[in-house]
Structure 1
């Protein structure tokens, strides 16, 4: 596995993309609307910053709930794996609580699955298969 991206919950992806683009020389690599979110990936050269902005402040979903509870900030850390299902099996074998029992579609056409932060030191971990 290798580092893929850090997901950042925000209420203003455009402003944050402009700031991080300027500060880190990180151009927009990909942008899409996915699962009620404006999702923007900024290319750092060795990974990405994923900006996650809800399309609707009243919307349902993990990111609006996170923003209401915690405010803007780091939401998750993502690790690239060649096989999300196998990575989930390994986590399961080690007693790690899973958010996703099986891989599911994620942004940018990737397969993803999340590990529950109660089993990972308070960090929401995402497995990503390109």
Structure 2
């Protein structure tokens, strides 16, 4: 496994993407509307920043921004076997927010683990 991306909650994905492109040489390689969000991926040599902007009222990201402000929302780890990764989490007593993989942005399968069991970090498994 390796870190695939870091999810970042923001009020303005376009503005933040423009900054990251100039500042970090991380160009936008994918954009989409997904589950009430505008999602923008900025690419590095070894992964992505996934910028998450609420596009509708009362979304998970919108509520996150209201409670926490902008910043790191989650860390995604790529796996070739998302079901096996979920089984390992279960075997280790780590609570899963998703018992089964579900569709994620960019057509990937994803599943999240409970941050109270992962050191306060919302961990996402992602399978391309």
Q: Which residue of 2 aligns with 1:81?
A: 79
The TM-score, its normalising length taken from structure 2, stands at 0.98
- The secondary structure found in structure 1 opposite 2:42 is strand
CA displacement 1:93-117 (0-9 Å, x = unmatched) = 0000111110000000000000000
CA displacement 1:57-111 (0-9 Å, x = unmatched) = xx22321111010000000000000011110000000000111110000000000
- Rounded Cα–Cα distance in structure 1 between residues aligned with 2:80 and 2:71: 28
- The secondary structure found in structure 2 opposite 1:60 is coil
- Rounded Cα–Cα distance in structure 2 between residues aligned with 1:2 and 1:22: 26
Q: Which residue of 1 aligns with 2:62?
A: 64
- Rounded Cα–Cα distance in structure 2 between residues aligned with 1:121 and 1:32: 30
Structure 1 moving runs of 4+ over 3 Å:
none
- The secondary structure found in structure 2 opposite 1:91 is helix
The number of residue pairs the alignment matches comes to 128
Q: Which runs of 5+ in 1 are unaligned?
A: none
- Rounded Cα–Cα distance in structure 2 between residues aligned with 1:47 and 1:24: 13
- Rounded Cα–Cα distance in structure 2 between residues aligned with 1:102 and 1:60: 24
Q: Which residue of 1 aligns with 2:88?
A: 90
The TM-score, its normalising length taken from structure 1, stands at 0.96
Q: Is residue 120 from structure 1 mapped to residue 118 from structure 2 by the alignment?
A: yes
- The secondary structure found in structure 2 opposite 1:40 is strand
**Cα RMSD for the two superposed structures:** 0.6
